[in-house]
Amino acid sequence: MTLRVAVLQMSSGRDVHANQEQFDDLVERAVGDGARYVQSPEYTTYYGPSSGFADAAEDLDGPFLRHVAELAQAHRITIHVGSLLTPGGGGRFRNTSVVISPAGERVAVYHKVHLFDVAAPGIEFNESARIEPGTTRVSAPLGEFHVGLAICFDVRFPELFRSLALDGVTLQALPAAFSAATGPAHWEVLVRSRAIENQVYVVAAAQCGSQSGPPTHGHSFIVDPWGEILAEGDATTSGVLCADLNVEEVRRRRSQIDSLGLRRPDAYGGS
């Protein structure tokens, strides 16, 4: 019932080949640390101006994901590509998260639902100008766990995470390229809140620094269902963070405080 997970904290830029080499190196390090589930950040293969999206994007059966499938199969691990660009419609693209099993099979694909359209102090960004939003929530089995998929800005929408918890999710994935402008005030608070209120593990691989896009906050996290931080990255250093997760901890915390069972949707609407 124990799963050793690894988050890859990356500093991706506009050089797709260099990003993929960084990814490969960190995966090998994670395997060396005994990880069975490895998660990379949002925009793993390209983080830069939208003028480079067309060259960086690839289909789900493209060369990078075929390579990831080979890695997963060779090491007998689950690899979760936090996100990469895939083609969308009308000249736009999708911010796509992909989970590949130890058999090299694609078991989950999630297109980011909530897009980063903000005008806040220190950051103005309009992700929807080039990215087409997803429309459905996604989860998948992961050994004894059930993993829910979300990406970065999704963390500000607790209804998505609650609906995934009601679907049976016990481990919530949250790859990110969280803004350095809002990160110090919001990132840790939001990640731990989603873990506490749903009594799930949250595994959040993050981009750090800034090679060619808006500066990112770093601080990858692995958080337990009580909101305790099991592992945390810093603001600028690429690397691998690992922790051992036990699904019984989810069950134990839910038996202590039944946040899901004691809901009153009749009082406030919704499901």
Domain extents for the chain? Answer: 2-257
pLDDT of residue 165: 98
Rounded average pLDDT over 223-246: 98
pLDDT tens-digit readout, 129-182: 999 999 999 999 999 999 999 999 999 999 999 999 999 999 999 999 999 999
| pLDDT confidence band for 17 (50 / 70 / 90) | very high
Question: Amino acid identity, residue 113?
Answer: V
**At the fourth CATH level, which superfamily is domain 2-257?**
Carbon-nitrogen hydrolase (3.60.110.10)
pLDDT tens-digit readout, 261-270: 999 999 998 6
- Tell me the average pLDDT of the chain: 96
Q: Answer yes or no: pTM beyond 0.85.
A: yes
Rounded average pLDDT over 186-199: 98
Euclidean distance between CA atoms 244 and 222, whole angstroms: 10
Euclidean distance between CA atoms 176 and 204, whole angstroms: 7
**Pair 79, 31: CB distance under 8 Å:** no
Q: Which helix (H) or strand (E) holds 232?
A: strand 229-232
Rounded average pLDDT over 112-117: 97
Q: Which of 58, 152, 208, 249 is catalytic?
A: 152
The answer on pLDDT for 242 being more than 70 is yes
pLDDT of residue 212: 79
CA 119 to chain centre: 23
pLDDT of residue 269: 81
Euclidean distance between CA atoms 160 and 136, whole angstroms: 10
Q: Is 112 a catalytic residue?
A: yes
Rounded average pLDDT over 215-231: 98
pLDDT of residue 23: 98
Encoding tokens for residue 214?
């808006």
| pLDDT confidence band for 210 (50 / 70 / 90) | confident
pLDDT of residue 271: 59
pLDDT of residue 270: 65
Q: Is 42 a catalytic residue?
A: yes
Q: Which of 58, 70, 105, 112 is catalytic?
A: 112
| pLDDT confidence band for 67 (50 / 70 / 90) | very high
